[in-house]
């Protein structure tokens, strides 16, 4: 389901949670000219891998396993993965994992528990130490976490709130410890009907959020001094997507937003207005024949 590219852009990895052979593993690819070339025979992982992320140096890969409720850690050498043991426990049903921009901390979104697990990354070993095993994210189906480029703020999306619809939690990242602390006068914001993914663009001005139920994208301005979210476009979605949007990514230049749609098997592409957070449709990329229900996206490249 998940996909990750190392920071140097030379290697990519895909989590195979529904492998035709019946074995759940990680597929390894080298990247040349944007083309993926598989190597190796697949690296075993935990039960139902869902998302993955490398550390800042590209020396380690962390994979969350939904039904295993844990994180598998791999060392990376010339693109080749070597599993470390034992796996690190998370909250119930982790579906997303990310690191902070400093490379010191790692966070998982635990869908079943409706929580966030917080860890510090011990370098150079790459091992994880628990900071908080289960910070409440208010709601169920905690689906995604986005950290702003400064590493000061984090945002967590929930598919469902205690009442109805989706929510986004606002957090401050405590300097020196990585602990998440609720932020703002309204730390849990109601957003659409079901938040499935969110991303902060590279300048740190805007947060984009997908509504899985309504097939929409919402845009929020991030207040630089506090990290609080201000709704753009008078509480209306700024763009329509394909069916079942599940993953967002912004290109390295910060000019384009890509939205993966699991239901319509395509990717919606938008131009980002960096003065107001608006999105202008650019086109749609169709998933190649043979692929269905895309669930993740990873971008690589350099600014020209």
Class for the domain spanning 1-132:
mainly beta
What does pTM read for this prediction?
Answer: 0.93
What CATH number has the domain spanning 137-304? 2.130.10.10
Count of Cβ atoms closer than 10 Å to residue 4 Cβ:
20
Residue 158, token pair as written in the block:
């929930």
Same fold, 1-132 and 137-304: yes
Give the separation between CA 296 and CA 268, rounded to whole angstroms: 13
Residue 192, token pair as written in the block:
């659409």
Q: How many CA atoms lie within 13 A of 63 on its CB side?
A: 38
CB 238 within 8 A of CB 267: no
For residue 170, what are the CA distances in angstroms to 145, 181, 224, 228, 271?
10, 8, 13, 7, 26
DSSP 151-174: SSEEEEEEEE-SSSSEEEEEEEEP
Quick: pLDDT tens for 223-281.
Answer: 999 999 987 655 567 899 999 999 999 999 999 999 999 999 999 999 999 898 999 99
Quick: pLDDT tens for 131-184.
Answer: 998 887 666 789 999 999 999 999 999 887 656 678 899 999 999 999 999 887
Choose among 1, 215, 220: nearest CA to 111: 1
CB 97 within 8 A of CB 13: no
The residue extents of the domains of the chain are: 1-132, 137-304
Length of the chain: 304
């Amino acid at each position: 389901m998940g996909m990750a590219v190392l920071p140097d852009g030379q290697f990519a990895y895909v989590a195979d949670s529904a492998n035709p052979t019946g074995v759940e593993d990680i597929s390894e690819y080298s990247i040349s000219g944007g083309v993926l070339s598989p190597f190796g025979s697949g690296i075993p992982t935990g039960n139902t891998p869902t998302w993955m992320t490398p550390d800042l140096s590209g020396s380690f890969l962390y994979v969350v396993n939904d039904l295993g409720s844990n994180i598998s850690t791999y060392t990376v050498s010339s693109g080749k993965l070597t599993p470390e043991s034992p796996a690190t426990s998370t909250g119930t049903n982790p579906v997303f994992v990310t690191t902070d921009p400093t490379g010191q901390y790692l966070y998982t979104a635990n869908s079943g528990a409706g929580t966030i697990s917080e860890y510090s990354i011990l370098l150079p070993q790459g091992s994880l130490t628990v900071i908080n095993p289960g910070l409440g994210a208010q709601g169920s189906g905690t689906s995604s976490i986005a950290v702003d480029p400064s590493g000061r703020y984090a945002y967590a999306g929930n598919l469902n709130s205690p009442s109805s619809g989706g929510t986004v939690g606002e957090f401050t990242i405590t300097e020196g410890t990585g602990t998440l602390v609720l932020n703002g006068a309204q730390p849990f914001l109601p957003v659409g009907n079901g938040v499935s993914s969110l991303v902060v663009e590279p300048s740190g001005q805007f947060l984009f959020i997908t509504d899985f139920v309504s097939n929409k994208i919402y845009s929020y301005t991030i207040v630089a001094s506090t990290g609080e979210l201000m709704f753009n476009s008078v509480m209306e979605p700024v763009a329509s997507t394909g069916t079942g949007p599940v993953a967002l990514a912004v290109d390295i230049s910060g000019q384009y937003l890509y939205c993966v749609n699991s239901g319509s098997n395509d990717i919606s592409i938008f131009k980002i207005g960096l003065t107001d957070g608006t999105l202008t449709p650019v086109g749609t990329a169709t998933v190649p024949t043979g692929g269905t229900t895309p669930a993740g996206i990873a971008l690589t490249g350099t600014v020209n």
